Amino acid sequence: MKDMRPFFVYLLRCSDSSYYCGHTDNLELRMQQHQAADTGYTATRKPVELMWQGEFETREGAIAFEQQVKGWSRAKKEALIAGNWDKIQALAKSKKAIRRELPVLSSDEGVEGVESDARLRQASFDSAQDGRLRRTQPERAGTVAGAALLHGILHGDAAAQRRAIAKAITLLESTRGDHRAQGDELLTALLPHTGKAFRLGISGVPGVGKSTFIEVLGLYLIAQGHRVAVLTIDPSSSVSGGSILGDKTRMEQLSVHERAYIRPSPSSGTLGGVAEKTREAMLVCEAAGYDIVIVETVGVGQSETAVANMTDMFVLMQLPNAGDDLQAIKKGVMELADLVVINKADIDADAAMRAQAQIASAMRLFGLVNNAMGQAQAATYDTFWHPQVIQLSALHNQGVDAFWAAVTQFRNIQTANGRLAERRRHQSLAWMWERIDAGLKQAFRQDPAVSALLPTLVADVESGRIPASTAARHLLAAQSGRATTAIK
């Protein structure tokens, strides 16, 4: 016989007046564990008091509601305890009938409520039910969770907002179909609240000091009154598929600052130095009110330029003695840079000066070749930004003010001449085509006709019976429904 054990969502009040929300299939045992625990959130906040509990038929329904409550403000949690649905609805600023989405409330005080036979049922307030629990619909649970994330990002307090941002980015990075649909809905709802931040992309070779520089820059910007979000991209192993996600550990001070948010993400095989959902993560941070969004790429070479196509300004970090004049004028990442930074200039001042001169010369050459200025363009030379090269030492916090002065100048010039808005429009279109390409690739891999034909063609290519290009054409034809039989 199928186990019909219920699942509980519960809300505890700790000794420091904070609230803890969790879920379990054995509430009495879980309460005993909280009282006896020596690790975890409640271990240092005992005694704890059970303030509210709700019963769900499925674990999925319980987890969905737990995630929602965790993103709520203190006022909403207290309204939940009091059973004040009108206040919950008002705080959520939503027109949806929340009462139809959530379980009935209990105001039982203390652990004694666990031993009572009063069981909460997930039922509508508008009609009395006979006590039987109804199965939570996945799409409805997704809607509830999405509304909670949206509210947490836009209106949550500092702690709730950070959790909501993290959950939203995780949802957007998920490859599950239902999660992607929920992520699209969330992103569409957040879009009107985006676009006000300045997006700064920072790239460079491994070891150039990107993380150290970003921490120094972030603390400098916070001191100027900004809120800073940092999205770091860590390379994924081509062998195991794993990623260390260690950039955040280098930002010890910035990572714990209340006006900063740092999110490391794996590249997961995505080329270009960024992750697949970096654009989406940027919009989430913008909607949350961060006015400076920094994207730190993986350590890159000459061809990883994707970050330049999703940020307002692309900064390339270089090392002294990183190459000769010929290396400086090689096209690729160099010609896309809006600002080049020679870091670690304190190690060898002469080498840093030579590198600055070589790169500045190369940048001027790029400008002449790319612009091919005529007389009319020459007359408006000062109204456009021209890439600069500066020196600094992130380790000794030298030159950061000069760097930000250059960034501010760039922003002012590009805003005044309309280039910044034009750049964002092009980036939005590029984002659309990028997602189309990714979607077509995913649809191709999931196509039944392709799956049926693939093993045979893979074997034929591996054995040398047919060329890879022929196999690819037949697989593409299979997806279109034009292939009838496999090649023999």
Q: Taking the domains of the chain in order of start, what are their residue ranges?
A: 7-186, 194-417, 429-479
What is the pTM (predicted TM-score) of this model?
0.64
Q: Tell me which residues of the chain have a pLDDT lower than 70.
A: 1-4, 38-39, 93-145, 235-244, 268-275, 299-305, 322-332, 366-382, 482-488
Predicted pLDDT of residue 326:
43
What is residue 52's three-state secondary structure?
strand
Say which residue the tokens 């022929």 belong to: 470
Predicted pLDDT of residue 221:
96
How far is it, in rounded angstroms, from Cα 223 to Cα 216? 11
How far is it, in rounded angstroms, from Cα 335 to Cα 267? 24
Q: Tell me which DSSP letter residue 200 carries.
A: E
3-state helix, strand, coil in the chain (%, to 5): 50, 15, 35
- Where does residue 165 fall: left (phi above 0), alpha (psi -120 to 50 degrees), or beta otherwise? alpha
What torsion do the CA atoms of 19, 20, 22, 24 make, to the nearest 10 degrees? -100
Contacts of 99 (CB under 8 A, 6+ apart): 85, 89, 124, 125, 126
Predicted pLDDT of residue 166:
92
State the helix-helix crossing angle for 419-446 and 400-416, rounded to 10 degrees: 90
Secondary structure of 273-327 as H, E, C letters? CCCCCHHHHHHHHHHCCCCEEEEECCCCCCCCCHHHHCCCEEEEEECCCCCCHHH
How far is it, in rounded angstroms, from Cα 487 to Cα 129? 61
How far is it, in rounded angstroms, from Cα 227 to Cα 218? 9
How far is it, in rounded angstroms, from Cα 167 to Cα 457? 41
Domain 194-417 architecture: 3-Layer(aba) Sandwich (3.40)
Q: First vs last Cα of the chain: how many Å apart? A: 51
Contact assessment for residue 64 and residue 136, using Cβ atoms and an 8 Å cutoff: yes
How far is it, in rounded angstroms, from Cα 94 to Cα 148? 10
What is residue 386's three-state secondary structure?
coil
Contact assessment for residue 106 and residue 118, using Cβ atoms and an 8 Å cutoff: yes
Beta strand 228-234 pairing with 7-13: unpaired
Residue 9: what are its φ and ψ, rounded to 5°? -110, 135
Please count the residues of the chain: 488
Predicted pLDDT of residue 225:
94
How far is it, in rounded angstroms, from Cα 119 to Cα 117? 6
Predicted pLDDT of residue 218:
95
How far is it, in rounded angstroms, from Cα 33 to Cα 36? 5
Contact assessment for residue 190 and residue 283, using Cβ atoms and an 8 Å cutoff: yes
Contact assessment for residue 345 and residue 352, using Cβ atoms and an 8 Å cutoff: yes
Closest by Cα among 402, 390, 273 to 338: 390
State the helix-helix crossing angle for 138-155 and 59-70, rounded to 10 degrees: 10
How far is it, in rounded angstroms, from Cα 104 to Cα 420? 51
Neighbours of 424 (CB within 10 A): 14
Q: What is the DSSP string of 85-140?
A: HHHHHHHHT--S-GGGTSPPP----STHHHHSS-------SSS---SPPPPPPHHH
**Residue 238 corresponds to which tokens in the numbers above?**
């081509």
Neighbours of 283 (CB within 10 A): 22
> From the centroid of its chain, how far is CA 393?
29
The side-by-side arrangement of strands in the sheet containing 228-234 is 260-266, 228-234, 292-296, 198-204, 313-318, 339-342, 388-391
Residue 21 belongs to what H/E stretch? strand 19-24
Contact assessment for residue 53 and residue 106, using Cβ atoms and an 8 Å cutoff: yes
Predicted pLDDT of residue 483:
45
